[in-house]
Structure 1
């Protein structure tokens, strides 16, 4: 039985021999990779390319039955593994996986430089070496599963940065360093950069078609600083667009979202005056509920209903938004989206806020909303 390795190598797993083809001398009992040597943190390392179908045999799996203090990795998050598997299988022509970082805690390692080079050579690692991960356990597990589903992926490679003379303590410290210092990107910029997502495209079109959005959307932040000159977030508009596209009539004609939000933007007085009369976003955030995504989502819920059930005259109901008192100190918002003086955007708050908007524009509550309203009123 043979396993294909990188750079024209084969392993005879039955006899533990490596046969290097293309005229390279046969040796025994080691993995052999072309490698780039380097230094980071005053420690030598090697960068190698490992075939995906060999990765699970090259890297030892963490024993999660051990006490946590004896492990270098956390327990696998199976949902996260499934996400990566789906990403690889669904995007075979464009998926990208960052390098894994591993260490050798036991076994023989030998680096032979190529003639005329300083840091290029062949790295030989004994087959019985204990190679474990510093970073990348979910990628490793996902790769193993993805190769089972799409066998052709097995012939592709992933970069592995490899350190020799590692230990559990060192691995734990690296894990801590990576995760303590890591900063997750804001949801807005993750959504913005995802060009595979149809909703991303529709959201961009909505923003471009509504002048207020185009001028006041922050594309990077999910939560705006109190003194930000922006008023909306890309992630917020993304979510309201997602809400509206669930309605079939809107999904079949997404351009109606552009018209809807253009009408909304001129019928909420403070929105219409934004940037005029010395009204700035910071003032609205402090004083009005419509400066927060819970109300944007509530308006989106109302919009879905109007476009579906009032297809010919929904605009006249949107015009009534100008008569609503949006002040966050107004008693009507208390318990709906203002809880103990703070804005809350849980699903319940979105529905209760949409209920109030329905009432103010003269639309009876949908049955599901009425049930939530009755419960709210009974305990208020």
Structure 2
């Protein structure tokens, strides 16, 4: 079997003095009867390969997103806070230039591996991943060592503005926003998300009645609230409470929702409980703040097991009575 012996690093992008061109080691593919190329790009080269477009571009000549500075900051912070395990999908771009692909050989897989030559005057436009590219540059400003890491590039040959704009639409056509509930269910970085996951796992009532598959509960489901509703209620529960230790916060949240779950399990409910859940978060925060040693007793006085469909307002009125005593 032939040994692949080709002088290609992860991405040895360099300027060839004769002709002034970029030379990228790539793998060639076919999609929609058009060639495209996949390569690995050192992060330090991204700003050179994809300089930011000028703000003078008008709407009809745009083929990529406007930059959202707030989003850039969030992505850059994500990178810097997770240097050991951040993850990004490929940056997808088009090349508006006369390119040349030089295959490694003429047999089997050797025809798909080679070098892509791109004139330096050619234009490379990002259609998916612009904010990642800018955020990575921002992150490298604070952590220069990132420039040696890599990100995959998917490169299409551009045939003009109309094709470039259509590529942008097609690449973003099928994207959907992940439901907040699923984001929380699989998030291992957000401490409150982890806390809520533990509540659903360990507290029987919430284990039975929390909907985990999306943000809208189907009419045929017996669930009463979503994981996102419980997350919002827990955020409210823990807001400005007199506990700073994360583990102690988790202990309190588990204890509070455990007790709430015991009371609620006594009643019968057939309506969504998102408003009630949020109100209980507010109540718990108030009780811990004003009754740190007997909040459990005060919570019991609310008689949660008697709450009916229209009982949320009554609960809040009763709560006002309890807290003024």
Structure 2 counterpart of 1:319: 300
Matched, 1:110 2:97: no
Instruction: State the Cα deviation string for residues 211-260 of structure 1 (Å, max 9, x = none).
Output: 11112222231221222222232222222222223312385353232222
Structure 1 counterpart of 2:74: 83
* Match for residue 286 of structure 2 among 305, 319, 324: 305
Structure 2 counterpart of 1:34: 25
* Match for residue 258 of structure 2 among 250, 258, 262: 262
C-alpha contact (below 8 Å) 1:6/1:33 kept by paired residues: no
- Cα 1:85–1:312 change in 2 (3 A) is closer
Q: Give me the whole-angstrom Cα distance separating, in 1, the residues matched to 2:204 and 2:11.
A: 58
User: Cα RMSD over matched residues?
Assistant: 2.6
What are the equivalent positions in structure 2 for 1:264-343 lying under 5 Å apart? 264-268=260-264, 271-274=265-268, 284-285=270-271, 291-322=272-303, 326-329=307-310, 333=313
* Match for residue 214 of structure 1 among 202, 207, 212: 207
* Match for residue 141 of structure 1 among 102, 123, 134: 134
Instruction: State the Cα deviation string for residues 278-321 of structure 1 (Å, max 9, x = none).
Output: xxx6xx22xxxxx3323212111111111232233322322233
C-alpha contact (below 8 Å) 2:11/2:40 kept by paired residues: no
C-alpha deviation, 1:64, in angstroms? 3.0
Structure 2 counterpart of 1:74: 65
SS at match of 1:249: coil
- Cα 1:166–1:134 change in 2 (3 A) is farther
- Cα 1:175–1:261 change in 2 (3 A) is same
Give ranges in structure 1 of 5+ residues lacking alignment.
19-26, 275-280, 286-290, 334-352, 366-380
- Cα 1:213–1:329 change in 2 (3 A) is closer
C-alpha contact (below 8 Å) 1:102/1:131 kept by paired residues: yes
Matched, 1:120 2:113: yes
**TM-score of the superposition, structure 2-length normalised?**
0.86
Structure 2 counterpart of 1:174: 167
Q: Give me the whole-angstrom Cα distance separating, in 2, the residues matched to 1:10 and 1:358.
A: 67
C-alpha deviation, 1:154, in angstroms? 0.9
C-alpha contact (below 8 Å) 1:35/1:46 kept by paired residues: yes
Relative CO higher for 1 or 2, CA cutoff 8 Å, sep ≥ 6? 2
Q: Which has the larger displacement, 139-148 or 245-254? A: 245-254
C-alpha deviation, 1:61, in angstroms? 2.3
Matched, 1:45 2:36: yes
- Cα 1:326–1:173 change in 2 (3 A) is farther
The count of residues paired between Structure 1 and Structure 2 equals 312
